[in-house]
Amino acid sequence: MPTYTNKVIWKQGHLGYTYCGNGTEMNFSAPPALYGHANMMTPEDAYLMAVNTCIHMMVLWAMKRFKLDLVSFECTAEGKVEEHIDKTSWFKQVFLRPQITVRGGSEGTVKRALQMARKYSTIAESVKSEIIIEPKVEVIE
């Protein structure tokens, strides 16, 4: 079973530094609305990025599996946060809006490939947020 690691260090205020097991390092902060710093990775950004990038990598795998000629892929992620009366909150929904262009194939095949990518995404399968994929598919000859 694969194991992944991450380390965080508090620097000051609402600022931290993170070390990822793959060698990536960066500053991170709370969002500015929560006393953090602007123009810096936040846990909320990292959450959406984790879902989006994992499904992205699985889309690449699924396109090959379905023998689809991928011309372009771009995906925007948007998270809807629900706040509770006790001031706790969570990402209730994550919307993924991929724009996919393939050469040949069909829109139905691309949508089946997206379903497979979602199913085999380790991150998407690990979170409790509802993940909603709203694709725009273009098939060219």
Do residues 23 and 54 share a domain?
A: no
Residue at token pair 């994992």: 54
pTM of the model: 0.93
The CATH number linked to 78 is 3.30.300.20
User: Beta strands 15-20 and 25-29: pairing type?
Assistant: antiparallel
Other C-beta atoms closer than 10 Å to the C-beta of 85 total: 5
Do residues 65 and 123 share a domain?
A: yes
Beta bridge partners of 56: none
Model confidence at 18: pLDDT above 90: yes
Where in the sequence is the domain holding 26, given as residue range(s)?
A: 1-41
Do residues 131 and 104 share a domain?
A: yes
Instruction: State the total domains in the chain.
Output: 2
pLDDT tens for 23-66 read: 999 999 999 999 999 999 999 999 999 999 999 999 999 999 99
The sign of the CA dihedral 22, 23, 24, 29 is positive
Do residues 26 and 94 share a domain?
A: no
SS3 82: strand
